[in-house]
Structure 1
Amino acid sequence: MDLFEDAAPAPQGNQPEYTVSELSGAVKRVIEGEFGLVRVRGEVGRVSRPASGHLYFDLKDDRSVIAAISWKGQVAKMQVRPEEGMEVIATGRMTTFPGQSKYQLIVEDVAPAGAGALMAMLEKRRAALAAEGLFDAGRKQAIPFLPEVIGVVTSPSGAVIRDILHRVRDRFPRHVLIWPVAVQGQACAAEVAAAIRGFNAIEPGGTVPRPDVIIVARGGGSLEDLWGFNEEIVVRAAAESRIPLISAVGHETDTTLIDYASDRRAPTPTAAAEMAVPVRLELLAAVDGLGARSVRAVVAGVGARGQRLRDMGRALPRLEALTGGAAQRLDLWAGKLGAALGMAAAKKRQVFGARAGLVRPELLLGLVAHRRRDVAERARGLDIAFERRRERVGVRVEALAARLVPALERLLGDAERDVVRGREKLAGLEGRLEGAAAQRFVQLGQRLDALDRTRATLGYAETLKRGFAVVRGDGAVVTTKAGAERAGVLEIEFADGRIVAGGRKPKKGESGNGQGSLF
């Protein structure tokens, strides 16, 4: 007998039992009800942003850590993104995550915990971008002296654009392209970066002129108002710009990160317009002054060179002194030329006479005989070479002839085999043609029988067998009552024959015609 067989069940208390989900839901409702909207101050710890676009980070102090989440839509609305080590004030609501038995803060907005935190984050970002070389002086481009087109990135409704247009018009009227953007708020950084890249994407010579210089301008404001120009996307767009860029954000005492990446910084938007174009009247005055100086320089130069020419002319010797010696030497040599020619002719005559005495008929005959022997030897050599050449050619011809006969036999054999194969193929095609014709006749006959059966099935004769009849009046088929009344004679066709019946009913006063009628 088992000692536990008759044991009584354990007594149940009066505490209710919860499932895990019920208990988790109750905790979730309590936390969300008590902390529906909270503001938490703390230091940002680990920051993670997966491909989903949501932002996961930790808020901590010296003793505790709270997990925080910002959904993708909330992250897009944040003016300041949390970064590790940054002290912030996060606004959101507390909730729980039953899947991991943890509580967390759903963050809707993040603000730096004072200006000191903003400045610390700004300095950290500036140092990181400077380490990449985005602020190096070697990257700076020269501002064109007189641009044809000026691109302005600013708000179209503020006083900044009016000041720039007014200053450009007063100094030197140029064509101005305005790219309207938000200059503060959540959309500021993305729109300014897109505007800079958009101006750079314009192709030269297109319907829209490409700017020669870009001005990014905004009026003064607080550090928070100007924060969009400290965003990394704006700084990188300014550094990558192939068009020279002037930054004019805020007043002279305001400094943003775009000022470091731009090719030139202007203290105010008006000063940026002055940097972009020179003063037209000053240029005209300078051109006039340079023209007058050029005329005076030409006149002075011509006068100085004329005086120099006259001075050098006085230092030159007289023409007679330069040519007198040469003329005297020419006269001396001309007087000696006749005698010298006579002496030279006498010397040549003596040499010719000495050589002519050596020429005798025997020498000429010996030379001719020697040449004749040389020619005979060369002729014998040619005969031998020609004979050898002929023998080599004959041997080669015989070799080719020996190769030609087998090749010709192979060609003839191949041709004969091709003829045999062609005849066999032709015989096969002929047999297939005869069989195809017979098969085609059979197919056509079968098709004709099928069409005849279809005709017989669909013909009106089969319809008559099912109890129908065809009525003809005066030789034409009648299909209506009125047509039958108008007909003089009706002919009705049944499946087994035809009958003739009376036609039109007689009118009042008319007598019948004595024939049978169906009416």
Structure 2
Amino acid sequence: MVDYPSEPGRLLAEEVPGDNSAALSVSELSGALKRSVEDAFGHVRVRGEISGWKRHASGHCYLALKDDRAVIDGVIWKGQAGSLRFRPEDGIEVIATGKLTTYPGRSKYQIVIDRLELAGQGALMQLLDQRRRALAAEGLFDQDRKRPLPFLPRTIGVVTSPTGAVIRDILHRLADRCPTHVLVWPVAVQGETAAAQVAAAIRGFAEMAGAPDLIIVARGGGSIEDLWAFNEEVVVRAVAASPIPVISAVGHETDTTLCDFAADVRAPTPTAAAELAVPVRAELLAGLQTMGARMGRCAHRYRERAGERLAATAQRLPTPERLLGPQRQRADEVGERLPRALSRRLALAGAELSRTAGALRPRLLRDRIGRSADRLAAVRLRPDLATRRIAEARERLDRLWRVAEQLHPEKPLKRGYVLVERKVGGGVLTTSQAAREAAALTLHFADGTVDVAVEGEASTAYVRPKQTAPKRDKPDQPTFL
């Protein structure tokens, strides 16, 4: 019995007569598919919407392109990812140029993208609008962040191409209006590196020594693709973070970039930026002259009015004759009365002198002087009087000394009395109760002291030699020591 391939339940694979296709391995089949796909689709352009954009740490980028009915995976290798002219975002419609290939590890096909472009003006505007909304949500375009421009900047920094007509227009306009010092930071204003150079220039002006007072970011007109560098996020953030006020003058009046929204002031053209940066010097001089003339007229008018007020006030003041008239009249009256008063005073003084001179007699003075001399002669110094008084004082001192000796505290001890003191702390005791409470006593006799301890009715004692003070001569005054 022979088994046929169509029969179910066959366990082992066997060669069937007439079958000329050998069994392929998975790798062989995957390799064949890869070659077929790459040969048939070696160069394709695909239009679709970006989805799942992701940049790997290795530098490779992965995404998917989709429309309303299908999805195809895509990859951009690191070498091509660095040359992208815009940053891809989800939802942007693009045209990808590359080749189809397969990925055997997951049995899927994908497009290896060599070039990624926006699919027309609408896609570019869509990307611009998405980026504008995202940056606006962070507050980078808020009016509260806008700063006023300096009235008369001493130094102006210009970020632009050094070879274009823009820098010449700015310099000429500044020279016509108000010559000032200008620092030019040369950058590329178009191309892949333009955004990074513009952002670095703005940060460089802020960090340099002697930083300018104002920054102008300028570029001539062009298409939205030409101005795209000024829509990049790195430029917008650099403008928003600049500590120096920034004027954005990118393109013509109808051109608008995200740099314009982040700047403190937007100028329609680079020439208009120069006009906004500085005032007209001639107008300033004319204004100064006008204000100087007005100030002179004001000062002259003020002086005239002050003179008028002074004249009016002087007319209401009294004259010196009116102020000094009464005093002058009083002085005249006093001057007339003074000679008569002096004459009268002199007459009175002469009469008083006459009366006094009659009482002054030399004989009376001589008699009084004589009596005083007699009293002075009667007063004599007698030594016996002083000696008698000293003797009386010494006798009184002796009596007091004898009384003091009788009252000396040690005098009763010679008659058998004892002086009782506390051994600790001292103090004379006069009662038995106080002696018992003290416990340790010192007894003073005429010839010494004895320390005793009180124990109920009995006591123990030992004699301590008397410490006597050295004898002294009898003092001139009594002492009780």
Same fold (TM over 0.5): yes
Q: Does 1:241 pair with 2:247?
A: no
Secondary structure, in 3 states, of the residue corresponding to 1:253? coil
CA 8–114 in structure 1, closer or farther in 2 if over 3 Å, else same: closer
Q: Relative to 1, partners in 2 of residues 1:10 and 1:262: Cα closer, same or farther, differing over 3 Å?
A: same
Matching of residue 59 in structure 1 with residue 62 in structure 2: no
Q: Deviations over 1:405-428 (max 9, x none)?
A: xxxxxxxxxxxxxxxxxxxxxxxx
Relative to structure 1, the CA distance from residue 322 to residue 46 in structure 2 (aligned partners, 3 Å threshold; closer, same or farther) is: farther
Once residues 29 and 176 of structure 1 are traced to their aligned partners in structure 2, the CA distance between those partners, rounded to angstroms, is 62
1:227 aligns to 2:228 (yes or no): yes
Q: How does 1:38-437 map to 2 (within 5 A)?
A: 38-203=44-209, 209-316=210-317
**Stretches of structure 1 lacking an aligned partner (at least 5 in a row):** 1-6, 204-208, 327-390, 392-519
1:26 is aligned to 2:32: yes
Tell me by how many angstroms 1:136 deviates: 0.9
Whichever residue aligns with residue 49 of structure 1, its letter is: R
1:323–1:76 Cα change, 3 Å: farther
Question: Which stretch of the first structure deviates more once superposed, 251-260 or 101-110?
Answer: 101-110
Q: Per the alignment, do residues 151 and 9 of structure 1 end up closer, same or farther by CA in structure 2, a change over 3 Å counting?
A: closer
Q: CA deviation at 1:107?
A: 1.5
C-alpha separation between the residues in 2 aligned to 1:106 and 1:325? 122
Q: 1:79 to 1:323 in 2, by over 3 A?
A: farther
Q: Deviations over 1:466-489 (max 9, x none)?
A: xxxxxxxxxxxxxxxxxxxxxxxx
- Give, in whole Å, the separation in 2 of the partners of 1:26 and 1:163: 64
Please give the alpha-carbon distance, in whole angstroms, between the structure 2 residues aligned to 1:44 and 1:325.
113
Q: Which amino acid aligns with 1:176?
A: V
Determine the structure 2 residue equivalent to 1:375.
none
- Note the C-alpha offset of 1:112: 1.7
Deviation (angstroms), 1:75: 1.9
Offset of 1:318 from its aligned partner? 6.7
Shift of 1:214: 0.6
Give the distance between the partners of 1:93 and 1:237, measured in 2 at CA: 38
- For 1:87 and 1:15, how far apart are their aligned partners in 2? 45
Measure the CA separation in 2 of the matches of 1:312 and 1:111: 90
1:11 aligns with 2:15: yes
1:9 Cα deviation after fit: 7.9
Distance in 1 (CA, whole Å) between partners of 2:160 and 2:195 is 12
Q: What whole-Å deviation, never above 9, does each CA across 1:121-148 have from its counterpart, x for those lacking one?
A: 2122111111111111111111111111
Q: Distance in 1 between matches of 2:106 and 2:322?
A: 120
- State the one-letter code of the partner of 1:278: P
Between the aligned partners of 1:84 and 1:153, the Cα distance in structure 2 is: 32
Measured on the aligned residues, the alpha-carbon RMSD in Å equals: 2.5
Q: CA deviation at 1:158?
A: 0.9
Give the distance between the partners of 2:323 and 2:86, measured in 1 at CA. Answer: 95
Change (3 A) 1:38 1:320: farther
TM-fit CA distance, 1:8 = 10
1:145-184 per-position Cα deviation (integer Å, ceiling 9, x unaligned): 1111111111111111111111112222222111111111
Output the CA distance in 2 between the equivalents of 1:162 and 1:215: 13
Distance 2:269 2:36 in 1: 55
**Once the 2 structures are TM-superposed, how far is the Cα of residue 302 of structure 1 from its aligned partner?**
1.4
Tell me how far 1:280 sits from its aligned partner. 1.7
Aligned residues: 317
Q: How far did 1:224 drift?
A: 1.1
Classify 1:162/1:324 alpha carbon distance in 2 versus 1 (closer, same or farther; 3 Å): same
Offset from partner CA, 1:408-456 (integer Å, 9 cap, x none): xxxxxxxxxxxxxxxxxxxxxxxxxxxxxxxxxxxxxxxxxxxxxxxxx
The 1:283/1:101 distance shift into structure 2, 3 A limit, reads same
Farther off after superposition, 17-26 or 121-130: 17-26
Give a deviation string over 1:206-254, Cα, whole Å, max 9, x none: xxx3111111111111111111111111111110010110000000011
- Provide, for residues 47-85 of structure 1, a one-character-per-residue CA deviation record: whole Å limited to 9, x for no partner: 112322222111001111111111223222111222111
In structure 1, C-alpha distance between the alignment counterparts of 2:148 and 2:92, rounded to whole Å:
38
Q: Kindly state the Cα deviation for residue 23 of structure 1 after the two structures are TM-superposed.
A: 2.0
Residue 185 of structure 1: how far off its partner (Å)? 1.7
Q: Find the aligned partners of 2:136 and 2:303 in 1 and give their Cα distance.
A: 57
1:101–1:292 Cα change, 3 Å = same
The share of aligned pairs that are identical, in percent, is 60
Over 3 Å counting, the alpha-carbon distance change for 1:248 and 1:11 in structure 2 is same
SS in structure 2 of the partner of residue 77 of structure 1: coil
- Amino acid across the alignment from 2:89: E
Deviations along 1:293-312, one digit per CA (max 9) or x if unpaired, are 21111111111122123323
Structure 1's 108 and 160: CA in aligned 2 closer, same or farther, altered over 3 A?
same
- Please tell me the residue identity of whatever aligns with 1:249: V
What is the DSSP-based 3-state SS (H/G/I as helix, E as strand, rest coil) of the residue aligned with 2:82?
A: helix
Q: TM-score, normalised by structure 2?
A: 0.62
C-alpha separation in 1, matches of 2:72 and 2:263: 40
Secondary structure in 2 matching 1:289? helix
CA distance in 1, matches of 2:326, 2:88: 102
CA distance in structure 1 between the partners assigned to 2:194 and 2:244 by the alignment? 21
Q: Distance in 2 between matches of 1:111 and 1:245?
A: 31
Q: Distance in 1 between matches of 2:22 and 2:58?
A: 41
- SS class of match (1:32): helix
SS of the equivalent of 1:223 reads coil
1:117–1:292 Cα change, 3 Å? same
Q: Could you tell me whether the CA contact under 8 Å between 1:81 and 1:110 is conserved in 2?
A: no
